[in-house]
């Protein structure tokens, strides 16, 4: 298990303390534990793609989060997006290339569950998609195990009941280099990825 530590966060962001962190890039670092993000109340941009993260729960504490790049991780259950629904400032989510993104009506379900989003998987959310999501996106309650109770938030209660399931054309893949560059525009000029610079050693993170 590779854990993102306070030392690594401060070293990468050059911040004086965790409350001062606004942007964090830990792309391609083989991370499995990013629970430290719960201590980043003011973070606005997180780039954590190409890791081994399996849950979105830790991000539920990041109330100022605006952009979350978490493609190519190990998030298998689409129900994990419930941890993002109470983040009012979240506008940009990149969740593609996770196992959960292979689910039926993935895009419409995410749009329905997270109406605050403006962009999903590097594609702007269109008005017609919002309407389709209300009709055809799965409600979060249907994605959870029957014994896992979930409170109906005001956001979800506004949606009309699901009527039917419809397939949605998959988004064409973006190349490895292009994806990395897009994510890193949030941190300044695009960075060309290389294995040495993008991967943290386990020792540095332990």
Give the pLDDT confidence score for residue 115 in this predicted structure. Answer: 95
Q: For each of the chain's 206 residues, which pLDDT tens digit applies?
A: 899 999 999 999 999 999 999 999 999 999 999 999 999 999 999 999 999 999 999 999 999 999 999 999 999 999 999 999 999 999 999 999 999 999 889 999 999 999 999 999 999 999 999 999 998 888 877 777 665 544 444 333 333 232 333 222 222 333 333 344 456 556 554 443 444 333 343 334 33
Query: Burial level of 183, CB count in 10 A (0-12/13-18/19+)?
Result: buried
- 3 state DSSP class of 68: strand
Ramachandran quadrant class, 169 (left: phi over 0; alpha: psi -120 to 50; beta: rest): beta
Give the pLDDT confidence score for residue 184 in this predicted structure. Answer: 57
Give the pLDDT confidence score for residue 104 in this predicted structure. Answer: 80
Residue 108 phi, psi (nearest 5): -65, -35
Tokens of 68: 């979350």
For tokens 């409600």, the residue is 139
Give the pLDDT confidence score for residue 195 in this predicted structure. Answer: 40
């Amino acid at each position: 298990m590779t854990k993102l530590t306070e030392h690594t966060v401060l070293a990468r962001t050059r911040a004086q303390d965790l409350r001062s962190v606004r942007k964090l890039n830990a792309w391609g670092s083989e991370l499995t534990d990013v629970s430290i993000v719960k201590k980043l109340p003011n973070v606005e941009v997180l780039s954590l793609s190409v890791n081994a993260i399996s849950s979105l729960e830790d991000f539920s504490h990041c109330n100022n989060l605006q952009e979350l790049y978490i493609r190519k991780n190990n998030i298998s259950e689409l129900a994990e997006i419930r941890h993002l629904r109470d983040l009012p400032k979240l506008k940009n989510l990149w969740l593609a290339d996770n196992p959960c993104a292979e689910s039926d009506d993935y895009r419409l379900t995410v749009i329905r569950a997270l109406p605050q989003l403006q962009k999903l998987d590097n594609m702007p959310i269109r008005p017609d998609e919002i309407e389709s999501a209300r009709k055809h996106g799965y409600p979060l309650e249907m994605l959870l195990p029957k014994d896992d109770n979930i409170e109906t938030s005001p956001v979800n209660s506004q949606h009309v009941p699901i009527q039917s399931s419809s397939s949605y054309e998959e988004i064409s893949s973006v190349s490895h280099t292009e994806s990395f560059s897009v994510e890193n525009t949030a941190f300044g000029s695009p960075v060309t990825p290389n294995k040495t610079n993008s991967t943290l050693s386990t020792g540095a993170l332990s």
